[in-house]
Structure 1
């Protein structure tokens, strides 16, 4: 008997609230987000300048308030949804999303992109859309990050019940992701700081009936005060002392995203890393960071002629008629309507 294929461990959810299984999602005739009553971590006091997702008539995604339902009937490609307004330059932006349904298929990604991103580019192709070119940056549910068509290991695989946070410092061009409110480290340092370049929050999915909810979003101007609390957020004990001072309580509330309140589920507590493991992982990430191709000295090409220049890297196959089609795989089969029943 052959041994079972190796599968990467999936990060536990943020809390212990119940979530619908795949069969319940597939058979539900109403609004899928209504199946979830969990509100853990939502609407943290201190959110400033909140925004919502932008609905598009030609998109295979339904946007209702803060929820996105990708491919509500069946999936035939990749849908990309962006925020309703650009993230202002010279500010630090943070937003957080909850994964409502189990993730499967080719890819589900969270990240950012410029206004040059064609949201319908891969409408009929199953691809990891965010980070395909120089115009976007993405974090996949597989735990990898992608930019300019190159994928790099970054975090642990995640799925239903997890919180995905995105921190964008537009004054420095730094992009960092959070998983269940734990910072994973700066992923990229080459995000354009040019105020003439509009950058939007983005999410993409190939999975049928996959649901993502925006639960928190805030933006703060870059000040000496913010940078000070940013440095203190790396020292939890000192930050805890400041939180006891009445005069600083309201200020710290505005910067809650620098050290977001963590609520571990019982499953995550059982598998939580000790300090020794954290130190090993931190040093490994540091070594990886030094090897990363995309640094501050790199200039992200914003030439429109280079848009989606890496799309040719997507594997192709030939059909019996001689036409080129995108390669089929088990992942693509999982993107179809009945992937929940596999």
Structure 2
């Protein structure tokens, strides 16, 4: 019988075979050899950065994989990316959890160059977010910054995909779980280009493995912002997917409308296309208000105010969005200009 904690945990993204704890402990070779990918996610959409290797850290870097504490754990290991996340861009990266997670904490997030990667080498702590220099999302479903932990999403473990969307132009940090947005977690990320920020992961769990699946950075253009707003209207977006001239744009910004969960085993947990986008506005607003200061509201933010695009009335007198994709785009870009 499943425990309450297991029932609350998010199911894996796909039906690939992952190693059990016994398999991991008994295996003498690379743990990643035990993973048999059948969903194709391991091929990814390209990597624009990789993990930074440090001789002082208790980790092994094997291509896209981080093997934390390969023999036994005596504290917390922190790993960062090998490239800065530039201030004039938006950044998205995804990581797959290869092994079962346990112990004090396993966290995903970002940190500045002020983070001491060896600070907790002999201490079991939730390392990301212990101070103002980092922001973290725990496998226990909580976010942390400046030592304050807040409830945020489901608990998760082996087989899940954790995505991170960092908008350095706006200073927003958002996490995804199995390609579902959990909402904006923080709006206080430094936008100053002199502040150096890196992707980071930390773990206290022995022989825990995290794999980098995708990493991309895009200049925050008007085109990106327009597409970002269209993702809030999944029916319109699906029509755009069938327009040959826009397929290149869709591929470039795939992370703003990622594919739905692959797993056939957990199909009953899925919602329809764009489930996050079609949540009622009150639910989305309620989720974000927990982490956002009302004084920070930007009335000129086109992305936040895209819902104000004019509606029209149908023959029955009810308001509705324009039914033509072309009319929708015309109205939207008229609003932008």
Q: TM-score, normalised by structure 2?
A: 0.81
Structure 1 residues 208-239: Cα deviation after superposition (integer angstroms, max 9, x where no partner): 00000001111100100000000001111111
SS, match of residue 235 in structure 2: helix
- Stretches of structure 1 lacking an aligned partner (at least 5 in a row): 299-342
In structure 1, the partner of 2:64 is 66
Structure 1 residues 124-160: Cα deviation after superposition (integer angstroms, max 9, x where no partner): 0000000111100001001111111111111101100
Cα distance in 2 for partners of 1:288, 1:63 equals 36
Cα distance in 1 for partners of 2:131, 2:221 equals 32
Change (3 A) 1:122 1:267: same
> Shift in Å at residue 65 of structure 1?
1.0
Matched, 1:99 2:97: yes
> Shift in Å at residue 55 of structure 1?
0.5
Q: Please give the residue correspondences for 1:244-323 in structure 2 after superposition, counting only pairs within 5 Å.
A: 244-272=242-270, 283-284=282-283, 286-292=285-291, 297=296
> Shift in Å at residue 297 of structure 1?
4.5
> Shift in Å at residue 280 of structure 1?
7.7
1:217 aligned to which of 215, 218, 231:
215
> Shift in Å at residue 268 of structure 1?
2.3
In structure 2, the partner of 1:133 is 131
Cα distance in 2 for partners of 1:91, 1:223 equals 9
The alignment yields a C-alpha RMSD, in angstroms, of: 2.3
In structure 2, the partner of 1:36 is 35
SS, match of residue 18 in structure 1: coil
Q: Please give the residue correspondences for 1:120-159 in structure 2 after superposition, counting only pairs within 5 Å.
A: 120-159=118-157
Work out whether residues 190 and 294 of structure 1, in 8 Å CA contact, stay in contact via their aligned partners in 2: no
Work out whether residues 186 and 292 of structure 2, in 8 Å CA contact, stay in contact via their aligned partners in 1: no
Structure 1 residues 171-214: Cα deviation after superposition (integer angstroms, max 9, x where no partner): 00000001111111110000000000000000000000000000
Matched, 1:197 2:187: no
In structure 2, the partner of 1:337 is none
Matched, 1:19 2:25: no
Equivalent pairs counted in the alignment come to 292
Structure 1 residues 245-286: Cα deviation after superposition (integer angstroms, max 9, x where no partner): 1111111100000001123313321233589x9788974553
In structure 1, the partner of 2:183 is 185
Change (3 A) 1:118 1:282: farther
Cα distance in 2 for partners of 1:106, 1:296 equals 35
Change (3 A) 1:273 1:254: closer
Work out whether residues 141 and 157 of structure 1, in 8 Å CA contact, stay in contact via their aligned partners in 2: yes
SS, match of residue 8 in structure 2: coil
Cα distance in 2 for partners of 1:171, 1:118 equals 25
SS, match of residue 252 in structure 1: helix
Deviates more, 1:29-38 or 1:106-115: 29-38
2:227 aligned to which of 223, 226, 229:
229
Work out whether residues 183 and 287 of structure 2, in 8 Å CA contact, stay in contact via their aligned partners in 1: no
Cα distance in 2 for partners of 1:134, 1:40 equals 38
Cα distance in 1 for partners of 2:184, 2:207 equals 31
> Shift in Å at residue 88 of structure 1?
0.9
Cα distance in 2 for partners of 1:116, 1:41 equals 33
Structure of higher RCO (CA pairs closer than 8 Å, 6+ residues apart): 1
In structure 1, the partner of 2:329 is none
Cα distance in 1 for partners of 2:95, 2:132 equals 24
Work out whether residues 142 and 153 of structure 2, in 8 Å CA contact, stay in contact via their aligned partners in 1: yes
Cα distance in 2 for partners of 1:124, 1:70 equals 14
Cα distance in 2 for partners of 1:194, 1:146 equals 22
Change (3 A) 1:296 1:59: farther
